[in-house]
Amino acid sequence: MLRSIADHPWTSLQDGFLALSAMAVAGLLAIEYDLFRFASEMSTAERRITLAEAMALTLLLGCCIAAFVQRRMREQRLEADKRTEIAAEMRDLREQAMRDPLTNLPNRRAVLARLNELQAQPGGQQHAFFMLDLNEFKRVNDQHGHGAGDSVLQVVAERFKRVARPTDLLARLGGDEFAVLSYDIDQAGAAAVGNRFLGALENQVWVEGTGHDVGVSIGAVLFPKDGVTAQELLVNADIAMYRAKAGGRSALIFFDSAEASPRQYPRFAG
């Protein structure tokens, strides 16, 4: 009960005020009708309460306590419901903060969180990280407008979802860039995964009756061989992706530390 009072000081103050008010009214009535003098003139036997009176007083006290407890329980339920509602809203906000609103894929923030988690995992596991950049997407925006470009991105996202493994993290980094994190995979398996994403855009992307030739350049890195931190993986995957894009057509390139330096591609450096 003391904890309940401490948790609900304002309500407890109200209850105390009502109780004191009732006692004050009872005292005023006793003074008004001179009940104290009347009680002093009563004999000892007359002052003793009967069993019925004792039961009535006990019942009244029990009702008061029950009303107090019921009120506190109702308040606790309301507070618990409110806490649950707030927790759900906070969870929804956190999920929204990790989602790309256009494609409903995880966003860059979600990718960074997952990449950072890799460092905390037990050693011995190998993972692959891919950075995907669409080819000819700027032409879609320039010739057909950003509305058509957004529709193309949504179609591309759906195609990528179909070829991604159930355990893969597929995300949109922003613009026409996507990323894939494939868990527990070697380079041969990573090459197979990357080729599936290449194949996803072999056919034209149709939007509102117009076909768009959109390819994809993919840069791939292996964890921990090509990097351990999120920064290293992003930089090196970006380097490999630029090498793939330099060929002028859809391609998958794995990072090779002997062929490139982060200074050449400062977009994620520093």
- With contact defined as beta carbons under 8 Å apart, do 221 and 128 qualify? yes
Q: For the whole model, what pTM was predicted?
A: 0.67
Angle between helices 187-199 and 146-163 (to 10 degrees): 140
Q: Are residues 132 and 220 in the same domain?
A: yes
- Taking residue 184's Cβ as centre, other Cβ atoms within 10 Å add up to 10
Catalytic residue annotation: 176
Angle between helices 146-163 and 137-144 (to 10 degrees): 150
Of 62, 97, 132, the residue that ends a domain is 97
Q: Quick one: pLDDT at residue 258?
A: 82
User: Which domain does 130 fall in, by range?
Assistant: 108-264
- With contact defined as beta carbons under 8 Å apart, do 193 and 143 qualify? no
Q: Per-residue pLDDT tens for 41-84?
A: 555 555 555 667 567 767 777 777 777 777 777 877 877 777 77
Work out the average pLDDT over 182-188: 96
Residue 95 has pLDDT above 70, yes or no: no
Is residue 54 assigned to a domain? yes
Q: Are residues 24 and 139 in the same domain?
A: no
Is residue 29 assigned to a domain? yes
